[in-house]
Structure 1
Amino acid sequence: MTFDDPAVADELILPNFNYLGYLAQGSNVAENRINGAFARLLTPTLAFTIDSSWVHQNWPTGRTSGFDKTNIGLKYEAFRDSRHEALVSVALAWGVGHSGADAPDTIQPGIFFGRGFGDLPDSVSWLRPFAITGSVIDEVPIGSGGMALAPNATTGRFDTVLSPAVETLHWGFSMQYSSLYLTKRFDGGPPKDEPLNQFVPLVEFRFDSPRGQNTAATANPGFAYVAVTWQVAAEAIIPLNRAGGTGPGFRAQLLLFLDDLMPALFGKPLLSDRPAHSQIAW
């Protein structure tokens, strides 16, 4: 939930809700953020992506709210090995300047990877339910900076101040445990007679590294429940250093698998008659 997974598919995330009782770098503010993201396959291995968010902040001196920057991009599945549950994707996104937040354009190249361990030998079969995913995204600003609202403790109002543009490396990884492997009826697909399709305890680690500044780090333990057409997930947000925050938060997400939910509309890619790859169950 803190970074994109390596799959390339027709998906809709609405909402991805975040509550932070703090902000990084010592800011005294509570923030509610609602993200939305949409991905549409153009070919079986290439997807168009778009995402944005609405932000509401409670400062000691007042409140601010509005849309954050919109990101538009392409994501390409570069490597797949279903037998070994391995997947690698690359992406390139454009952060549209002044689309909501008064910030400059950005270019965001990224790489996303995942590896499940269901192919491990019997001697270490206890590791088979585990999987890891991760991503590295470099957000490079184009331009000198933008403007932002900042509270003025003297006047009790908000002042418009210059917000410098800083290149930031967003990176992270997750560890997951799939309950599919706990059933004797597991045959490589969803269990037909189990009460749960797939319950996945997980922990994500997220890091934001602005050039010349301290890295903001958080650990995010939670779970996901994966059904056939949707997935619901929730996790806590626990700062690992002061730059990552001074108190806990939480996030929750609803993800819709559009190709299964509306096959008549999303049953095949826009520019190809070939069906998309089936998703790897981590």
Structure 2
Amino acid sequence: MRSLSIRRSLVLFAPLVWAQTAEAHGIAGNRYFDGTMTFDDPAVADEAILPFWINQQHPTQGSAVSENRINGAFARLLTPTLAFTVDSGWIHQNWPIGRTSGFDKTDIGLKYEAYRNNQHEALVSVSLDWGIGHSGSVAVGADAPDTIQPGIFFGKGFGDLPAQLSWLRPFAITGAVIDEIPLGKVGHTLAPNSAPGGFSTVISPAVETLHWGFSIQYSTLYLTSRFDGGPPKEEPLNQWVPLVEFRFDSPRGQQTAATANPGFAYVAVTWQVSAEAIIPLNHAGGTGPGFRTQLLFFLDDLMPSLFGKPLLSNQPNRSQIAW
């Protein structure tokens, strides 16, 4: 079974040998693919996310926990189509018998834009991440062995539909599938111990988990006369993007945790702010509603002197549409 998982990793990452042309901000043709909050968008770009605040209630270790997370992420282009990524965070948990806090596991990796079709508003990227073993805190259940995480991300806009279906043109779909494969058997976590009224350290088995989901997005710019069948004169930013995400986490042999996440994003030239509600779709997905917010910076536009071109390429980052 492990050899099968490794083969899946190699198959997903094989497209790194391809060569494409990159655009800034996850744009394909007229379409801007919003960087959503439960999974990454299908593009590669210089960007930073700070802060990323999540409040959610969910069951764990036989008890209901209210959890607050502050996450951060950073991506730096190495070439026009290949980016280095890193993300981590801090977690605070409120248990019925006390509180715990600590750092989340740190992930580093590479993400590659494998396919682009501007005419049909389509993007596909692949990634390979390393979850650094035991980089997270035992206190919040983030202590785990090393993991390998191959992933694929896609986006498809409907702006290419014929005139009789023009009412569907503002819509787009994005999605992702990430397989988190542990390279060890166990980690450690704290569990409530009702007898002494505190916490005890217990072994936490490492389980292969498939993280997957999709979003439905609506670009309000398609309601204006700006789109007349050809590309706009400027990048399609400065817009409201209503959306709903669906997130699923499927540990091997266990129940899938499912949530629906309706919200919106406002996209400016150098930044984007987003907010979503978290609505559990089953008990594993949470014991009550929550919310998340995010502030994302487009570093190539915010600091062009520092992020104006990829680290390993003399080609400048392009922030204008090209067919």
- After TM superposition, the score normalised by the length of structure 2 is 0.83
280, 285, 292: which is aligned to 1:244?
285
> Offset at 1:23?
3.7
What's the CA shift string for 1:194-232, capped at 9, x where partnerless? Answer: xx9210000000000000000000000000000000000
Distance 1:111 1:259, change over 3 A: same
2: distance between equivalents of 1:189 and 1:94?
A: 39
2: distance between equivalents of 1:147 and 1:26?
A: 16
> Offset at 1:24?
6.0
More helix by share: 2
197, 221, 224: which is aligned to 1:183?
224
Q: Does structure 2 retain, via aligned residues, the 8 Å contact 1:93–1:107?
A: yes
> Offset at 1:189?
3.7
The within-5 A match list for 1:122-201 is: 122-186=163-227, 188-189=231-232, 197-201=238-242
2: distance between equivalents of 1:38 and 1:155?
A: 42
Q: Does structure 2 retain, via aligned residues, the 8 Å contact 1:235–1:250?
A: yes
> Offset at 1:129?
0.3
1:89 aligns with 2:125: yes
> Offset at 1:27?
3.3
43, 55, 65: which is aligned to 1:7?
43
2: distance between equivalents of 1:32 and 1:65?
A: 9
248, 266, 275: which is aligned to 1:207?
248
Report percent identity of matched pairs: 78
1:41 aligns with 2:77: yes
Q: Does structure 1 retain, via aligned residues, the 8 Å contact 2:128–2:149?
A: yes
1:121 aligns with 2:162: yes
What's the CA shift string for 1:6-59, capped at 9, x where partnerless? Answer: 110000011111001334686311000011000000000000000001000000
What's the CA shift string for 1:62-107, capped at 9, x where partnerless? Answer: 0000001000000000000111110000000000001123210000
Distance 1:279 1:131, change over 3 A: farther
The within-5 A match list for 1:250-269 is: 250-269=291-310
More strand by share: 1
> Offset at 1:278?
4.2
Which stretches in structure 1 are left out of the alignment for 5+ residues? none
Q: Does structure 2 retain, via aligned residues, the 8 Å contact 1:25–1:243?
A: no
- Per the alignment, residue 263 of structure 2 pairs with 222
